[in-house]
Amino acid sequence: MTLLTSEGDVRKMRECGRIIREIFPRAEKRIRAGVSTADLDREIEDIIREQGAEPAFKGYKGYPATICASVNEVVVHGIPSDDTILAEGDIVGIDVGVKKNGYFGDAARTFTVGKISEEAARLIEVTRECLSEGISQAIAGNRVSDISNTIQRIAQREGFEEVRTFVGHGIGTHLHEPPEVPNWGARGTGPVLKEGQALAIEPMINTGTRNIRVLSDGWTAVTTDGKLSAHFEDTIIVGRRKAEIIT
Ligand code: CO
């Protein structure tokens, strides 16, 4: 766990966040039917390098790309490909990590391609709400599970299921640090949050079963029932009264 104890540390994290925040609207402009996820990957890698930063995922445990691009039933870790062409009605999760000045930022958004189904739209809205309500629990003195339980409750209230196989995480001078931040669990358990602690909170919510399997490429995680999945993630800094969202 990295504790951001000086204004300098916080500024470096904010710089990572600024770069990621610039990426999403630029990616969104390119997202339309006919564009491949490899096109998006190249564009986003260029933006990151333009900013004097490095893609944090590339080479991480052998991951081959800058972004994860997860279409429809792909939950997370979709590998960008020239053969994955977006089509009208798709939803696509774009997950991006950057490293600059020794610090990391990590965030994801789920975008839409043209006109999508009502259920897809509701899934995206609910997943976004899971993230924002989860973040509202990231206050010093609360426990990790206050975030987790809030996410689980919102997903289930809407008749959706939260993915349990993958979790959010601490972040700072490494992409993944303790503690794990699950998207489910009983309130009042797990580590107590500290002011200045950076977390990547990342609900992955499915319209059907929460169960996933990983394809033979070793990365791509899909829902076992082929139903839709959405993913939103922000890097935040735990505050005394509220969290600071940096991405
Ligand atoms: Co993450």
Distance 233 CA to ligand 1 centre (A): 7
- The 10s digit of each residue's pLDDT in 28-45 is 999 999 999 999 999 999
C-alpha 177 – ligand 1 centre gap (Å): 10
SS3 211: coil
Please state the φ and ψ torsions of residue 109, each to the nearest 5 degrees: -135, 150
Q: List the beta strands (DSSP E) in the chain.
A: 54-55, 67-71, 74-76, 91-100, 103-112, 161-162, 168-170, 177-181, 198-201, 204-206, 212-214, 221-223, 229-231, 234-237, 244-245
Ligand 1 centre distance from Cα of residue 117 (Å): 27
Q: What is the pLDDT of residue 40?
A: 98
Assess if residue 2 is contained within a domain: no
13-31: pLDDT as tens digits: 999 999 999 999 999 999 9
Is 1 contained in some domain? no
Neighbours of ion ligand 1 (CB under 5 A): 106, 200
Give the count of domains, the chain.
1
Can you give the CATH number for the domain in which 127 is found? 3.90.230.10
Domain that holds residue 204: 7-245
Per-residue model confidence (pLDDT) at position 242: 97
| Interval between CA 30 and ligand 1 midpoint (Å) | 23
